[in-house]
Each structure stands twice: as structure tokens, then as C-alpha cells.
A and B are shown apart, each in its own frame.
Chain A
Amino acid sequence: MAYLDHAATTPMLPEAISAMTAKLAVTGNASSLHAAGRRARRTVEEARETLAESLGARPSEVVLTSGGTEADNLAVKGLYWARRAGKDGGPPRARVLASPVEHHAVLDAVDWLGEHEGATVEYLPVDAHGRVHPEALREAIARNPDDVALATVMWANNEIGTLQPVRELADVCAEFDVPLHADAVQAFGQVPVDFAASGLAAMTVSGHKIGGPYGIGALLLGRAYSPVPVLHGGGQERHVRSGTLDVPAVAAFAVAGQLAAERREWFAREIGALREELVAAVRAAVPDALLGGDPDPAGRLPANAHFTFPGCEGDSLLLLLDAQGIECSTGSACTAGVAQPSHVLLATGTDPDLARGTLRFSLGHTSTRADVEAVAEAIGPAVERARTAGLS
């Protein structure tokens, strides 16, 4: 088996598994006042401190959630609700600015605000690599700085791996006092992610993408911001996110987060080198394959390799590679299991027919040269066969 879908989820690190299993047998609600509660709370707060340190944040800025999707929803909806009334009786702030290449957890939340909550959604232009330019953001805000509720632009794209100029975008937002949120789910562990240095108001991270457990994530949230909660209840997590904390998952998330930060340079160098080999092998086998995202290593995730194969259906390729024990993704979301042309590729101006023939290989901490060799061997015949099957 060649598992090359680490962007979907990556194997849990042994250290995280140890941390998690050690806590599973320990009783304690972190909100309780007695000894068991205090013990649990200590675990949670130590984990929070570890995560904060790994991400360049203060512990109080770490709002634990059930994962990336919830953190994205909390940031987008919560900040919109908190700010839409306008400042001190000023005009309502109804505009939500978003990149069109966002993950569906942001994209659908933004669209929902437009459809149900009176938001005016404005998608920012992107270049052929899917990148938002700071001038484009400035132009959009400057049209009416007073009516912008928030802007949201992901740190690194999950399909094509392009990085956004987060710091520059945050600087533009800061000029106009507009909060900027970034989904950093794919970036954490692969590129330097420092919340304080980024200038972001809010930032999403997820456990299972970095070798931690499923079902845990966090919204890094600047102390000046009080989004309206999506989940109401016991008032945990700064009253922004209620719900009893999953102590074992929190502990394991922190371990994974710390290791992701510590091993980032190793990861970028070693796994990045494997990625370069994979790209070279695919190009050698299929000369007309198109590489997606920013080709400049400085502008992209080191472990993502996205290809478009003209004349192929991504689904066909997936089936053929799966039969050879190679596990990857088309990169785009499905509707009822039916692959749709990727909104990311469409936003970058890719022809819709071409956009159906994509594959995303995403490498991770367990990737080996054997994985790359398996792809090198299988991709040529698979593409040839998928071309015969054509576009139905």
C-alpha cells in the first residue's frame, strides 16, 4: 500500500497515541472543582500552553474545538454576528470577503451567511496559482471600509498547495481595522506558522492533519475578538465554545502540535525531497501532465503534488491506482459521491473539462521512497487507460 492522502488525514504519531491512551483511563471533567476535575484541567491547560507555544500564540488565544470545520464556522459566523451591527450605531457591517479557493468549511459557512443572515459575500480575485494579492484585498476593502465584517483567506490551499501572503493580507486588514481569519489546517507542520507574527485575528488548526487524533482542533483567537458562539452551553473556552473538553484528545493534540512544530524543518526538507521525486516521476511518465499550484517551492506546501491529466477523468485514475494499492485523492469535494469539477481549479481559470482530470498526492511523515516508486510505476499505464475510457 502506498498511502498518499495525508492531506485527508495522516497516521497518528506514536507519541500522540501514548498520550491519548494514557489519559483515556483517567476520570475528570475539566470544569469540575474537585480533585479529579483539577487533574483534568491541569492536563488541558498544559496542553493549551504547549499548543500556544507551538503556534506562536498566548494560551488564552487557544480555543479548543471539535476540529477544523467547527473552528472555521466559529470564526466566520461568530465574527460576522459579532460585528454586523456596526460600530457605535454606525452603518451595519454586512460584507464578508473571502478567497474563492477556501475549503468548504469556510466557503459553505460564508455562503450560508449570504443566504440566511443578510451578508453580502464578495469573493476576492486570485491569480492562476490561486493566490490572493494584497492589492486586490485592499481594493475590495477600500471601496467601503466601514461595511466589512471580516475577511477570510486560507493559509495554504488543501488541493493545490499554494500559500497565501498571510502577513501582507493581515497588514492590509489592520489598516482598515478588519479582522482576518485564516484556515491553517494544511499549513501547520509544513510551513512556519506563527499566530502572533501573522497579524491574524483568528486562525484554524486541526488535530488529525498533524498526527494527532480526529475530532479535535482549535481556533486561535486574538484577545480583542469575541465572536458570537455557534455552540451555547456551559461556557467553556472563553464562553466562545461550550462543551465538555475531550481531555485525552486535547493532550494528544498538544503532543502532535509540539512535534509538528519541532519537526517542521525536517519535514519540509525530507518529505519535500520525496515530493520532488514524485513530481519528476509523474512528469517523466506523463509528459503532458500539468502541475497545479505555485511551482516555486517558497510559495507552496512542501508535501503536496497536484496534477491535471488532460483527457482523463480523475475518478477513473483513482479507481485504477486504488486497484494498484495507491491511495490518493482527486482533491475536490463530492456531491453524493459524484465528483464535481474543483472550485479551486475553476477559480484559477482552469477549463472545466480539464478540471475533472485531477489527482492530488499528499505526502506525510510516514511516506517513503517506495511510495514514490509505486506511483512512478503505475501512473503511466493508469493515465493511458483512463484516456481510453475518456470523459463520459
Chain B
Amino acid sequence: MTSQIPSAPPRTSRPLRVLAAMSGGVDSAVAAARAAEAGHDVTGVHLALSANPQSFRTGARGCCTIEDSRDARRAADVIGIPFYVWDLAERFREDVVEDFVAEYEAGRTPNPCLRCNEKIKFAALLDKALALGFDAVCTGHYAQVVVDENGERELHRASDMAKDQSYVLGVLDDRQLAHAMFPLGDTVTTKDEIRAEAERRGLAVAKKPDSHDICFIADGDTQGFLAARLGKAEGDIVDESGTVLGTHEGAYGFTIGQRKGLRIGTPAPDGKPRYVLDISPVDNTVTVGPAAGLDVTALTAVRPRWCGAAPTGAGTYTAQLRAHGGETEVTAEPVDGTLHVTFTEPVRGVAPGQAIVLYDGSRVVGSATIATTQRAAAAV
């Protein structure tokens, strides 16, 4: 049993020196304001992640425009905390953008937000913060850090499951978690309530639209971004028997489970929709087939990271397989540095490259990157 101690300590506890990552959006602004209000000594930092932040405003809401930087600065001024811009563009390019491209090139579907949390916010940023004498990094993520009876810190889903972002934080290890602060995760809060709170605090970002897209793809056109980076590479779209049904302009442009945009002339024999079942970068082939072909019964994941001690044997957990995805029941076992996962019921649309995050109730147990899947119909 764990006692539910909020991750943002109340006024009475020791004030911490907190570095608040401020994107220029409403969530991180309110998080910084709450941390300051709790009595911590807060300094705001906006991360300049784009190598070319010259454009004042890009098409999509991101975290790299000059306007975002100004919004973050304005929010810090209102909260009354010092504010700096740190240039982590080079690290971001290496660890997030290049990784993103390489993963797609290898036929996988990466999650750059998760990668950014692992490598930038709670690595490059945290390391620099600790070196400069800060105790913690605060972000606007919806998740909870809970301290158990032994003083161990646990990562939990946000009080409000609808807002929960623990999935993209599932990669954090003990050390990273020990210095993380998520002031938004403790309260059941709708976005409207956060906006109202921002308004009440005089933060002009209260009405700013949410960011949805990948921040380094300003126009939201992921396929265009990948095509520009990887070039066109025409290949075949085949069915499960290997019959060529059509062509594509680059296998990297597809995701397992994708249905739209296949542009196959001949309909399936049974007239049912066809889905991307497999992407093979080696022979540049995309395999399509019926929905049943997507059913996954088991998977192997690599690079497991544990929030706390690694489990020693097989255990039963709930798992989340993508951001905003639902929960599914699994049995998971660490085997030789990998993670073997068996689903109680087959699940669809499991894409290699995505993270599987394991939960025990609301507690994040650990995460790993999906490498291979086992299908119900046939192993693809």
C-alpha cells in the first residue's frame, strides 16, 4: 500500500530549487505557477529545440517558435520567476529528430515525445539543472509522483485518467523520477479548469490552443517531412500471399494498422477493408491484409526501463501500447534484457517502435520499446 503524498509538496515541506520547463503553453505555465505557489524557489526555462527558430509563428502549435518563447517569458514574468532560454537544439536534433527519422526508415513507428522526455527534459535538461544546483525539474505533464512507505518514489497515472500522460513518462528511471515534479497530476482537472486557473493567475496563455502535432514538424505533414529527409523509394504493396497489389513511394510512410492512403486499385476478394500488416524496409515492401491479420497475441520489447526494481519473474499487468491508448491485460516477463509480453486477449494495431508501458493499478512499473510481434493468424 502506498500513501498518496502529492508530488508538489505542500507549503510546509522544505522548499526546493525547481527548474520549470516552460514550453509557452498553458499546462507548463500553470505547473510553474503551482510550484512557485507551493513555496518552491522556481526558475523558468524555455528550451530552444529548433536549430532555426527564426520564424515567428509556424503553422502548428509547437514548442520551437519565437512566439512560444515569448509566451513562456511573459508567463514567467507574471508568476514572478526568473526566466532563461536554453539552447538544446543540437541535443534535440541528435537524440530526437534523427532517431525519429531512423526509426521510420527502419519500418518502425517512434514516439518522439517519449524520446524527448527520456533524452532531453529528464536527461540533458535535468543533468544541467542538477549541476547548477537545482533539486528538481518541473513540467506540465499530467502524472503523479507518489512516495511509498519506504520513501521510494513511484510514478502514477494522473488523478484524471482522461488527462493522464504517464505513458510518455514511462521511460523515466528511478534517478530521473527522483528529481521530477508534476504539479498538474494531483488534481482532477479538465483542460477548461486549467485554462480558468491560468486566467485567474493572469497568464495570457490561458486561451492558447493546445499543441497536438510533433513540434519539429511545423506544418503537421509527417509524410512530407519523412519524404524530404529520406527521399522517395518506390516499392510494392503486396498481400499476405505475396501478390503485388500496388506501389508506394517509400515504406517508411506507413504505420502498422494503417488503412487510409493505401491507394490499392483492386478490392480485396472478400470486399473488406485492408490494413497495413507489415513494413519491410529490407525489400521495401508493405504487406496488407484483413483486420484479423492485425491481431497480436504476444510481443517482444527491448530496452526495458523500470521505475524501481526490475521484476524477477512473470507478472500480470495492465499495459498501454500507445499515447491516448486504452489499457489491456498482459503477462510480462523480463528475459535476457528483453521483455516478453503475452496478451490475455489479442490486440490490434501494435506498431514496433512504440513503447509498451506496464502498470500495476495506477502505478507505472516500467516500459520497453516494441521490437517484434506475434500474430494470431500467422507470425508476420
Binding site for B on A (CB under 8 A): 315-316, 318-320, 322-323, 334-339, 385-386, 388-390, 392
A319 close to B46 (CB less than 8 A): no
Q: Which residue of B lies closest to A319 (CB)?
A: B84
Q: Are B86 and A392 in contact (CB under 8 A)?
A: yes
Q: Give the chain B neighbours of A390 by CB distance below 8 A.
A: 131
On whether the beta carbons of A385 and B53 are closer than 8 Å, the reply is no
With A and B bound together, what is the CA distance between A335 and B56 in angstroms?
12
Residue B124 is within 8 A (CB to CB) of chain A in the complex? yes
Q: Are B86 and A389 in contact (CB under 8 A)?
A: no
Q: CB-CB < 8 A to B82: which residues of A?
A: 319, 322-323
Of A323, A335, A389, which one neighbours B53 at CB under 8 angstroms?
Answer: A335
Judge whether B86 and A315 touch: CB under 8 Å.
yes
A336 / chain B contacts, CB cutoff of 8 Å: 48, 53-54, 66, 69, 85
The contact sample of 18 A-B pairs, CB cut-off 8 A, is A315-B84, A316-B128, A319-B43, A319-B132, A323-B43, A335-B53, A336-B53, A337-B48, A337-B85, A338-B48, A338-B89, A386-B132, A389-B127, A389-B131, A392-B88, A392-B91, A392-B124, A392-B128
Query: How many residues of chain B get a CB closer than 8 Å to chain A's CBs?
Result: 22
Q: A336-B54, A336-B69 given as contacts; is B86 within 8 A of A385 (CB)?
A: no
| Contact (Cβ within 8 A) A338 B132 | no
Partner of B131, one of A315, A318, A338, A388: A388
Cβ-closest chain A residue relative to B82: A322
Report the minimum CB–CB distance from A379 to chain B (whole Å).
15
Nearest CB of B to A97, in Å: 28
Q: How far is the CA of A217 from the CA of B128 in the complex (A)?
A: 41
Q: Is the CB of A385 within 8 A of B85?
A: no
Residues of A within 8 A of B66 (CB): 336
Give B62-90 as 1s and 0s: 1 = Cβ < 8 Å from A's Cβ atoms: 00001001000100000000101111110
Interface residues of B in 279-321 (CB under 8 A from A): none
B133 touches A385 (CB 8 A): yes
Instruction: Please give the residue numbers on chain B whose beta carbons come within 8 Å of chain A beta carbons, in ascending order.
Output: 43, 46, 48, 53-54, 66, 69, 73, 82, 84-89, 91, 124, 127-128, 131-133
CB-based nearest B residue for A334: B85
Contacts beyond the supplied A337-B73, A389-B127: 4 A-B pairs with Cβ under 8 Å:
A315-B86, A319-B84, A337-B48, A338-B89
- How far, in angstroms, from A316 to B133 measured CA to CA in the complex? 11
Contacts of A337 in B (CB 8 A): 46, 48, 69, 73, 84-85
- Which A residues are in CB contact (< 8 Å) with B69? 336-337
Among A322, A334, A389, find the residue whose CB has the most chain B CB atoms closer than 10 A. A389
- Chain B residues in 8 Å Cβ range of A334: 85
User: Bound complex: CA of A161 vs CA of B238, how far in Å?
Assistant: 70
Q: In the assembled complex, which residues on chain A have CB atoms less than 8 Å from the CB atom of B132?
A: 316, 319-320, 385-386, 388-389
Assembly CA distance A336 to B73 (angstroms): 11
Q: Which residue of A lies closest to B17 (CB)?
A: A323
- Measured CA separation A389–B54 after assembly (Å): 27
Chain B residues, CB < 8 A from A315: 84, 86
Q: How far is the CA of A388 from the CA of B127 in the complex (A)?
A: 10
B residues in contact with A320, CB < 8 Å: 132-133
Q: Give the shortest distance, in Å, between B44 (CB) and chain A (any CB).
A: 11
Cβ-closest chain B residue relative to A320: B132
Q: Shortest beta-carbon distance, A1 to chain B, in Å?
A: 13
List chain A residues, Cβ under 8 A from B124. Answer: 392
Q: Give every chain B residue within 8 A of A389 (Cβ-Cβ).
A: 127-128, 131-132
Q: Which residues of B contact A338 (CB under 8 A)?
A: 48, 53, 85-87, 89
* Docked complex Cα distance between A386 and B132 (Å): 6
What are the residues of chain A within 8 A of B85 when measuring CB–CB?
334, 336-338
Nearest Cβ on chain A to B52's Cβ, whole angstroms: 10
B204 to chain A, nearest CB (A): 17
B53 contacts across to A, CB distance below 8 A: 335-336, 338
Q: What CA separation (Å) do A319 and B85 show in the bound complex?
A: 11
